Chains A and B, each alone.
Chain A
Amino acid sequence: GENVEQHPSTLSVQEGDSAVIKCTYSDSASNYFPWYKQELGKRPQLIIDIRSNVGEKKDQRIAVTLNKTAKHFSLHITETQPEDSAVYFCAASAGGGADGLTFGKGTHLIIQP
């Protein structure tokens, strides 16, 4: 089955700086890669997703890049703000997200004022 590794487990950055979180996956059949943000005590919420036929996708301060050959994808957050502090999870699916998602173990992003 699919295995998703996520790094780092904790990331502390100064407000205004950029943050990068990286994930690798094992199943070459995976074709859908969402990123979820989970604030303390809240439910996970989708912030951006990408399919395997796209190399990069951007939404305002958030971007995701995908390297199918190397089987890794990354989340980039620019101009970080205090409200970006949360746990971020990457995930992978071989069914476009219609099947179950395999998640990474999460990255706790801390924005230092």
Chain B
Amino acid sequence: GAGVSQSPSNKVTEKGKDVELRCDPISGHTALYWYRQSLGQGLEFLIYFQGNSAPDKSGLPSDRFSAERTGGSVSTLTIQRTQQEDSAVYLCASSLDRGLLSYNEQFFGPGTRLTVL
């Protein structure tokens, strides 16, 4: 079946503007994750959802970042008043929730490359 998809693939915006990034998880995957990858860096965890709720928002870098998930499927990551340091690739992943004592492979999407001018 189809993998995780994200849109747009590229987004160029001006400093101070708001942006919305979209993630479509693999059908049937209850868990959804957002990560940020800056140039040449590792992946930084932002937030994850179990169904529509977000048990852990600890990775969001500031209150300009927010995310929602409705219907247990599509998720949107919103960055308000973008800054140049927000430039990065934003990756979404999804997984089946097999429980804390099992293996829960996270499947990644292709990412959205955000450039803030």
The chain A residues found within 8 Å of chain B, CB to CB, are 1, 6, 31-32, 34, 36, 42-46, 49, 51, 89, 91, 93, 95-106
The chain B residues found within 8 Å of chain A, CB to CB, are 31, 33, 35, 41-48, 50, 55-56, 58-59, 91, 95, 97-111
Chain A residues within an 8 Å CB radius of B59: 100
| A-B pairs with beta carbons under 8 Å apart, 27 shown | A1-B58, A32-B104, A43-B91, A43-B109, A43-B110, A45-B108, A46-B105, A46-B107, A49-B103, A89-B43, A93-B104, A96-B98, A96-B99, A96-B102, A96-B103, A99-B56, A100-B46, A100-B47, A100-B48, A100-B59, A101-B33, A101-B43, A102-B45, A103-B35, A104-B42, A106-B41, A106-B42
Chain A residues within an 8 Å CB radius of B46: 100
Q: Which residue of A has the minimal Cβ distance to B3?
A: A43
